[in-house]
């Protein structure tokens, strides 16, 4: 798909602030690592693209990025280049097999694995810049509740948490949901249960998690957190085979149980949150992300060796990036 494909998708009415009403940016996250975030982000994007959506996946697992491996892409320019002014956003946006777009982090982003003011600002600007041009933006985050992960999630309108039936993954999913509820005031989150061993196990796991949340979590504003189960993906050798072949399971084995589970999840997501509509890409996609590269090479945000404690993001730590406050470009 061309990066300049205009669209005719009916966009939602903008609010008074110019922000589209429909959620557009979705964080895909998990408490425990290795539960299938990247697998789901990439395959869900392909499944949504097949439904006609224009989708962007952003590899926000800064430092431990592996979306490039899953998609078998060797980007010439990555987010790292965009953040450092060595490449443009247009150069870094790649079309992946499955007909969606990706912004790959690149291994050089290790320095972005700490939440410095620069990382905050660049990430916020990135999201603001790309969001109007896609029906849906999926942010593939790292695992856990580090400040970088929480900040990446704070950029999103909605959160999709992945858990597996394993007790450790469930406990970690509970911790993530609780922190997102208490720190970001999120009263609802979507849930996908991956690597189930029998059909229906996902429903059971979701009910279990919901009941623990209901018992132990009360939001600052009162009330509890509602999980919206989107579905389950069985543990399927087709997923591992696809990873080995560096292909998406939805493309390589579309008839597999896992691919069908992902297609059903895409359908439920699109029903719960219909595509947001998008504006055409500006000609040439001259979307400048970095302000003129700040010429302070010898003075990084944090002096080497000095373990600066970045304050944990409280409810307002994301500043202008608190969900609901980022401004999308006017659609008029």
Ligand X SMILES: Nc1ncnc2c1ncn2[C@@H]1O[C@H](COP(=O)(O)OP(=O)(O)OP(=O)(O)O)[C@@H](O)[C@H]1O
CB of 219 to ligand X, least distance (A): 26
CB of 61 to Mg ion, least distance (A): 5
DSSP 14: B
Q: 3-class DSSP state for residue 250?
A: helix
State yes or no: residue 30 binds Mg ion (CB under 5 A). Answer: no
Q: Which is nearer to ligand X, 61 or 157 (CB)?
A: 61
Binder of Mg ion out of 7, 29, 30, 38 (CB under 5 A): 38
Q: Which is nearer to ligand X, 235 or 331 (CB)?
A: 235
State yes or no: residue 37 binds Mg ion (CB under 5 A). Answer: yes
Q: Which is nearer to Mg ion, 37 or 133 (CB)?
A: 37
Other residues' Cβ atoms within 10 Å of the Cβ of residue 70: 21
CB of 33 to Mg ion, least distance (A): 8
CB of 190 to ligand X, least distance (A): 16
156: exposed, middle or buried (Cβ count in 10 Å: 0-12, 13-18, 19+): buried
Q: Which is nearer to Mg ion, 156 or 213 (CB)?
A: 156
Contact 173, 209 (CB under 8 A): yes
State yes or no: residue 114 binds Mg ion (CB under 5 A). Answer: no
Other residues' Cβ atoms within 10 Å of the Cβ of residue 287: 18
Q: Which does 88 bind (CB under 5 to 8 A by kind): Mg ion, ligand X, none?
A: none
Interface residues toward ligand X, by CB under 6 A: 30, 33-39, 61, 143, 194-195, 233, 235-236, 239-240, 243, 258
Cα–Cα distance for residue pair 137/126, rounded to 1 Å: 11
CB of 105 to ligand X, least distance (A): 11
Residue showing tokens 């597996």: 164
Q: Which is nearer to ligand X, 128 or 257 (CB)?
A: 257
Cα–Cα distance for residue pair 203/207, rounded to 1 Å: 6
Gap between the terminal Cα atoms of the chain: 25
Residues across the chain: 332
Q: Which does 30 bind (CB under 5 to 8 A by kind): ligand X, Mg ion, none?
A: ligand X
Q: 3-class DSSP state for residue 91?
A: helix
Which residues sit at the interface with Mg ion, rule CB under 5 A? 37-38
């Amino acid at each position: 798909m061309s990066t300049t494909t205009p669209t005719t998708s009916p966009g939602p009415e903008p609010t008074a602030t110019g922000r589209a009403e429909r959620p557009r940016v979705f964080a895909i996250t998990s408490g425990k690592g290795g539960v299938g975030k990247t697998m789901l982000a990439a395959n869900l994007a392909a499944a949504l693209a097949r439904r006609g959506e224009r989708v962007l996946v952003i590899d926000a697992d800064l430092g431990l990025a592996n979306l490039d491996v899953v998609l078998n892409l060797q980007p010439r320019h990555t987010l790292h280049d965009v953040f450092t002014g060595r490449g443009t956003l247009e150069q870094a946006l790649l079309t992946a097999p499955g007909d969606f777009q990706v912004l790959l982090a690149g291994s050089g982003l290790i320095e972005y694995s700490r939440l410095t003011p620069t990382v905050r600002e660049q990430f916020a600007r990135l999201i603001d810049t790309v969001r109007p041009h896609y029906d849906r933006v999926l942010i593939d985050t790292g695992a856990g509740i580090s400040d970088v992960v929480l900040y990446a999630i704070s950029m999103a309108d909605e959160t999709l948490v992945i858990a597996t039936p394993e007790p450790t993954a469930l406990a970690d999913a509970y911790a993530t949901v609780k922190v997102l509820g208490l720190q970001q005031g999120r009263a609802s989150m979507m849930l996908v249960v991956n690597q189930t061993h029998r059909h229906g196990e996902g429903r059971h796991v979701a009910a279990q998690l919901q009941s623990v949340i209901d018992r132990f979590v009360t939001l600052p504003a009162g009330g509890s957190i509602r999980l919206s189960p989107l579905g389950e993906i069985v543990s399927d050798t087709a997923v591992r085979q696809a990873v080995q072949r560096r292909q998406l399971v939805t493309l390589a084995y579309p008839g597999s149980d896992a691919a069908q589970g992902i297609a059903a999840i895409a359908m439920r997501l699109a029903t719960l949150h219909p595509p947001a509509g998008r504006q055409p890409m500006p000609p040439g996609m001259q979307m400048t992300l970095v302000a003129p590269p700040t010429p302070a090479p010898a003075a990084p945000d944090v002096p080497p060796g000095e373990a600066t404690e970045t304050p944990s993001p409280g409810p307002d730590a994301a500043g202008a990036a608190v969900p609901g406050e980022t401004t999308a470009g006017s659609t008029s």
